[in-house]
């Protein structure tokens, strides 16, 4: 396989005295579609948030596209990165949030054009054309002049995806993009993500509880438990023949929600 585009090298992340990521090793190849599953609190969001530079790390190195994300090489040593370095690194990444995080004071179209204009320095015309193409892609060309609060949750999340795409990142991070949605709106959002997943060059990292969907679109599924990868593999293997006891237990709990309580408790105790 080619050089990984994302590589976690013994990454440690603590919140106070709680160690959330414990010397995590994890890598993703360019163009790979990876799904992260695992119990609540196992550190799934933390992995994405570290990549998006929303959360710093305590130890280890995160590599993105061959360069350290949180460090810069100065005098032959890795030192804490400057804001300038991280600004350059962030260009490679885009993120879709569980709660959409749209800008409520901007119309749908402006949600999509603001960053391309201000950050990428696109002309208004270019940004607008790009936005309109993306809105068409997510099926919201008629909603361009509305404000986010006028849209349904599913529509808002589709705007969220289009907004991230407008920056043309090489890596897309999805943190439970459908968890805040009413069940009947999940499908429309998954369809948009499924279309994106067909783009060969785009690297995707998806945290989700939609196991069926994960099975369909991912090249690899990683089961996270207590800040480490407990088991990983192609979806056909991991879902059908999990090897680790904890994976089995988790998958059973997801499929059969009645025993899910037991699972949550187990992870809280663990």
Partner 1 sequence: MEWTSYLPPLLQGAWVTVQLTVYSTILGAVLAFAFGIGKLSNNWLIKGVSIGYIEIFRGTSLLVQLFWLYFALPIAGQAIGIDLRLPPVVAGVLALGLNIGAYGAEVVRGAIQAVPKDQYEAGRALNFTPRQAMWRIALPQAVPEMMPTFGNLAVQNLKDTALVSLISLGDLAFRAENIRNFTQDSTTVYTLVLFMYFGMALVLTAFMKIAERSVGRWKTAGR
Ligand X SMILES: Nc1ncnc2c1ncn2[C@@H]1O[C@H](COP(=O)(O)OP(=O)(O)OP(=O)(O)O)[C@@H](O)[C@H]1O
The site for ligand X (CB under 6 A) is made up of: 15, 20, 38, 40-46
Smallest gap, in angstroms, from Cβ of residue 83 to partner 1? 8
Residue 229 makes CB contacts below 8 A (sequence gap 6+) with 24, 25, 26, 222, 223
Lay out the sheet containing 6-15: strands in order across: 18-28, 6-15, 59-64, 67-68
CA–CA dist 119, 200 (Å, integer): 26
Residue placing its CB nearer to Mg ion in the complex, 87 or 209? 209
The only residue of 35, 42, 45, 53 in contact with Mg ion, by rule CB under 5 A: 45
Smallest gap, in angstroms, from Cβ of residue 43 to ligand X? 4
Calculated CA dihedral for residues 46, 52, 54, 56, nearest 10 degrees: 70
Site for partner 1 in 144-163 (CB under 8 A): 146-147, 149-150, 163
Burial 247-264 (b: 16+ CB within 10 A, else e): bebbbebbeeeeeeeebe
Show the beta-strand stretches assigned E in 97-188: 171-175
40 binds, among ligand X, partner 1, Mg ion, none (CB under 5 to 8 A by kind): ligand X
User: Per CB under 8 A, does 12 bind partner 1?
Assistant: no
Binding mask 15-54 for partner 1 (x = CB under 8 A): -------------------------------------xxx
Binding mask 104-123 for partner 1 (x = CB under 8 A): xxxx------xx--xx----
């Amino acid at each position: 396989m080619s050089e990984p585009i994302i590589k976690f090298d013994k990454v440690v992340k603590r919140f106070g005295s709680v160690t959330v990521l414990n010397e995590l090793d994890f890598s993703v190849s360019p163009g790979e579609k990876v799904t992260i599953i695992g119990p609540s609190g196992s550190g799934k969001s933390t992995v994405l948030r570290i990549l998006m530079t929303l959360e710093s790390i305590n130890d280890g190195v995160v590599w993105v596209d061959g360069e350290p994300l949180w460090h810069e090489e100065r005098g032959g040593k890795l030192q804490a990165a400057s804001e300038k370095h991280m600004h350059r690194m962030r260009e490679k990444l885009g993120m879709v949030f569980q709660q959409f995080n749209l800008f409520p004071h901007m119309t749908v179209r402006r949600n999509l054009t603001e960053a391309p204009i201000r950050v990428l320095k696109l002309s208004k015309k270019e940004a607008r054309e790009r936005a309109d193409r993306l809105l068409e892609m997510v099926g919201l060309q008629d909603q361009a002049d509305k404000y986010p609060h006028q849209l349904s949750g599913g529509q808002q999340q589709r705007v969220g995806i289009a907004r991230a795409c407008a920056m043309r990142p090489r890596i897309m991070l999805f943190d439970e993009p459908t968890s805040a949605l009413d069940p009947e709106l999940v499908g429309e959002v998954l369809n948009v993500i499924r279309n994106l997943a067909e783009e060969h060059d785009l690297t995707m990292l998806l945290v989700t509880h939609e196991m069926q969907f994960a099975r369909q679109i991912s090249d690899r599924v990683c089961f996270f438990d207590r800040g480490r990868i407990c088991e990983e593999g192609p979806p056909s293997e991991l879902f059908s023949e999990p090897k680790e006891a904890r994976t089995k237990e988790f998958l059973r709990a997801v499929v059969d929600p009645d025993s899910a309580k037991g699972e949550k408790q187990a992870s809280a105790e663990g």
